[in-house]
A and B are shown apart, each in its own frame.
Chain A
Amino acid sequence: GNSVTQMEGPVTLSEEAFLTINCTYTATGYPSLFWYVQYPGEGLQLLLKATKADDKGSNKGFEATYRKETTSFHLEKGSVQVSDSAVYFCALSRANAGGTSYGKLTFGQGTILTVHP
């Protein structure tokens, strides 16, 4: 079945440090890949996505590239801010239409990021 593995957390960084959160996946076919962010007390929000190999998703200074050869979708940001402190989830969704699981998101376990001033 489909699965997503994220790097163990929590991750603690100083402001303006470089961020990498690793994500690898197992899936049949070519899924779409996502990063969601959950700020304290809020619901999950889509941060960025990529729907095919070599696509780069980007938003708010965050980037992730869909690497089919390494089945990875690592999240990066060049300079983190205190406001980036949140839980980050990597997820995949089957891309082929049809079937009851179409649209189902499979999530990793989440990585807690804390950024200190």
Chain B
Amino acid sequence: AAGVIQSPRHLIKEKRETATLKCYPIPRHDTVYWYQQGPGQDPQFLISFYEKMQSDKGSIPDRFSAQQFSDYHSELNMSSLELGDSALYFCASSSGTGNYGYTFGSGTRLTVV
């Protein structure tokens, strides 16, 4: 079965650079979520989109922005990167609000040096 696809798997950036993470949801899933997991931490919700509109917002820095496109894939754009942005970034997708659970991608490991 198709899963949530995230790219790239690994990314190394320097401070103050920009990074773009991509997420391709499971086919027919209309909701996409982004989470950030710092080292030794639990995943923290950043933002979600339902039918290409922002549906919920968590602790996402102003330096980050995201959107969901017409094909339902989503991109997380991160500017002016800081060392503290180094983390594992997960995307998840679901149908609606995920009452039947939602599926996470394998994550993008971002390292800021």
Say whether A associates with B. Answer: no
Q: B residues touching A (Cβ–Cβ < 8 Å)?
A: none
